Amino acid sequence: MPSRQSRSLPAISAAITIFFWGSAFAAIRIGLHSYSPTHLALFRFLTASVVLGVYALITRMPLPRLRDVPLMFLLGLLGITVYHVALNIGEQTVASGPAAVIIQTAPIWTALGAVLFLGESLRIWGWVGIGISFAGALVIGLGGGSEVSLGWGAALVLLAALAQSSYNIVQKKTLSRYRPVELSTYAIWAGTILLLPFCGGLIPDIQKASIGDTVAVLFLGVFPAALAYVTWAIVLNSMPASRASSVLFLVPVVAFLVGWVMLGEIPTAVDVVGGVLAMGGVLIVNTLGRKAPRPHAP
């Protein structure tokens, strides 16, 4: 019988993930004052790689199997390189709160991928929920009150959502062979290597940046990256992908609050309506839309 600590670990991990990923959107906006989108992503994950490298040395973490190295680079490409470069560029024109809601279409795509590739099932209500959530993302994208339009900024944030959902599916299938902390570490290392072609000019950027902007990037590397990627892998390892991804719809709530307090980005009525639609749709997907498991034959 699992201990109380092991039963509570997924809930604690989910809370940590939600808080730090929700806080990341405002920190990205701050970091973009001094850093280009690609330099911000590279500096952030160089920091995360160092933090996880120290942990790996202390715990004597083994290296991944040689045959799995291409898989680690695929995870790094999807969950680190494509996701963060697209998100950082998109956040130059999309406010942090709306960006968080658009990126939360990732649970929609994760649920769809779980049906196609992980053998999970959805009732008709599940597909209705997907449609409602997508409508919510469109409402956010059309909300001029938050400087969002159906242009490149919103499209890049949506690309980031698709990359994240693909990362979730591939990661879910791979967690059977690696511990969450190991898989997250390998993916972050691989993604950081793939970001290295953007290193030109990073050192001058660091030298010219304000202390506050650099602290924001270091915060992104230590907490939303190194820590929250590991806690998210723990959540994903403990439950079906579609159910796990649904908890991420609390991220926009945190992002709106942090953006309001730190950046003065007051949510508009359009933001609220779009967020309610997006979160309500995924709630439908993960309640009415999920099929109960079939009973085993006696």
Domain positions in the chain are 8-285
Per-residue pLDDT of the chain (298 residues; tens, 9 = 90+): 455 555 689 889 999 998 999 898 888 888 989 999 999 999 999 999 999 999 999 999 999 999 999 999 999 999 999 999 998 888 777 766 566 667 777 888 888 888 888 887 777 877 787 778 777 766 765 555 444 455 678 889 889 999 999 999 999 999 999 999 999 999 999 999 999 999 999 999 999 999 999 999 999 999 999 999 999 999 999 888 877 877 777 777 777 777 777 767 677 777 778 778 877 876 786 677 665 544 443 4
C-alpha closest to that of 190 among 298, 48, 282, 75: 75
Sequence-distant (≥ 6) Cβ neighbours of residue 114 within 8 angstroms: 120, 169, 172, 240, 241, 242
Instruction: Pull the structure tokens for residue 34.
Output: 């001094």
Q: Residue 139 and residue 119: Cα distance in Å, rounded?
A: 31
DSSP structure string for 70-115: HHHHHHHIIIIIIHHHHHHHHTTTS-HHHHHHHHTTHHHHHHHHHH
